[in-house]
Amino acid sequence: GENVEQHPSTLSVQEGDSAVIKCTYSDSASNYFPWYKQELGKRPQLIIDIRSNVGEKKDQRIAVTLNKTAKHFSLHITETQPEDSAVYFCAARLRDTGRRALTFGSGTRLQVQP
């Protein structure tokens, strides 16, 4: 089945710096890659996603890039703020287990130091 690896597991940055989280996936037929943010004590929520026919997508301070050849995708957060502190999960959608299956990475705990 699909395997999604996420790095790093923890990341600490100074407020205003950029943060980058990387994920790799194993199924070359995966075609949808969402990112979820889980604030302390809350449920994970979708923040941005990208499809395999697109190389980059931006939404204000966050962006996601996808390299299909290398089978990796990354989340970029610029001008980080304390409220960006959370656990971030990447995910990939498997092809061979149906259109609706999502496999998540192990998560990255981002700490933005004021």
What are the E-state strand segments in the chain?
4-7, 10-14, 19-25, 32-38, 45-51, 56-59, 62-67, 72-77, 86-93, 102-104, 108-113
Torsion-angle region of residue 28: left (phi > 0), alpha (psi -120 to 50) or beta?
A: alpha
Minimum CB distance to another protein smaller for 65 or for 78: 65
Minimum CB distance to another protein smaller for 51 or for 78: 51
Cα–chain center distance at 66: 10
Applying CB under 8 A, the span of 18-26, 56-64, 66-74, 85-93 interacting with another protein comes to 85-93
Contact status: 87 vs another protein (CB under 8 A): yes
Minimum CB distance to another protein smaller for 94 or for 112: 94
Q: Which residues in this chain contact another protein in the complex, by CB under 8 A? A: 1, 9, 31-32, 34, 36, 40, 42-46, 49, 51, 87, 89, 91, 93, 97-104, 106-107, 109
